[in-house]
Structures are given as C-alpha cells and as structure tokens.
Amino acid sequence: MRSILIINSGGTFNKVYNRVTGELEIDKSGKAIEQIAKGWLTEFKVINVVGKDSLDMTQSDRAKIAETIKGAEENRIILVHGTDTMHLTAQYLSRANLDKRIVLTGAMTPFSINPIEATANLSSAYGYLLQLKENNVYISMNSRIDLYKRVTKNREKGYFQVTL
C-alpha cells in the first residue's frame, strides 16, 4: 500500500499576493499543491485544514491536525505547515503516538513567488515516504530530511539545517 495523504494546514508555502491590500495572504484552497500535481503529471489526495500562518497555530489547531491524521486510512502522511512553529506541531504529533509515518514540510518562500523550494520540499518528502519503514515524525526542508528533532530552522540564514 503506497498511497500518501497530503494534509495542507497553511503556512508560507500557500501564500499569495493580494494586489488590493498589497499583502501576502494564505490561500486556503490549496492551489499551490494543485499546481505541483499538475506540473508533476500526477495526482495527490489532499485535505485542507486550519489554513493558518504557523505563528497563529493554537493547540486546538494542532488537535484538529492530529485528529485528521488519526482518522485517515493512509499510514503515510505529508503535512504542509508554516515554518516558524513546525517543530512545535511535530512535537505535538510525536507525543500523540499516532503510529504513522508523518513528514512535515513547508517553504521559506511562497510557491506563488518562486515555485522551486516549495515543490522540492514537498516532492522530496514524497520520495522519502515511499521508502520510509519506521513510524515516526520527520521534517523535510531544503533537502534535509530526518527525525523532526534533528531538522531545525536557522532564523538568521533563512533555511533549515540538520543538527545531529
């Protein structure tokens, strides 16, 4: 059973420019993931939940994400999430003992501004999951993919690193 479920909870990955307000805002409908599927000549199973910037994520939002993962028939989950609190949600999911293979990913740059990073973060998570054997919580950012505790955001440089 190879099927992978993508749960899209928002974050910079999904931000789009609103020319009336001049602001970047989260597209809750998941168009970025649709465009990746279309360009990659494939199809994804996607559930959009929460739809927030990661700084606005509450424990109740995390509970909703955990419920969605628990209720899914798939054992392999990609969770698209904002980068600032990705480690907190990863920790939350780890403590929830979901007995699944969960990879959190996201992007430092919105897909709509430059599609490379978002596309590569998501698809490297996808490839990783196809061979992953152990249930646990992982992070896939900027080519670093490992157990969630080892992949952390370098806030000054603006990318993720592995700390062993």
Question: Given the rule CB under 8 A, which residues bind its own copies?
Answer: 12, 17, 19-20, 22, 24, 35-36, 38-42, 108-110, 112-117, 119-133, 140, 142-145, 155-160
Q: Would you say 58 or 143 has its CB closer to its own copies? A: 143
Q: Would you say 17 or 58 has its CB closer to its own copies? A: 17
| Least CB distance to its own copies at residue 62 (A) | 21
CB 90 within 8 A of CB 139: yes
Q: Would you say 73 or 156 has its CB closer to its own copies? A: 156
Q: Report the C-alpha gap between 122 and 13 in whole angstroms.
A: 10
- N-to-C CA span, the chain: 32
b/e code 126-142 from CB counts within 10 Å (16+ = b): bebbeebeeeebbbbbb
Which has the closest alpha carbon to 126: 26, 50, 37? 37
Half-sphere exposure of 157 (CA within 13 A, CB side): 7
Q: Would you say 39 or 163 has its CB closer to its own copies? A: 39
| Least CB distance to its own copies at residue 87 (A) | 17
The three-class DSSP label of residue 14 is helix
| Least CB distance to its own copies at residue 144 (A) | 8
| Least CB distance to its own copies at residue 153 (A) | 10
CB 101 within 8 A of CB 135: yes
Q: Would you say 41 or 97 has its CB closer to its own copies? A: 41
| Least CB distance to its own copies at residue 67 (A) | 27
The three-class DSSP label of residue 58 is coil
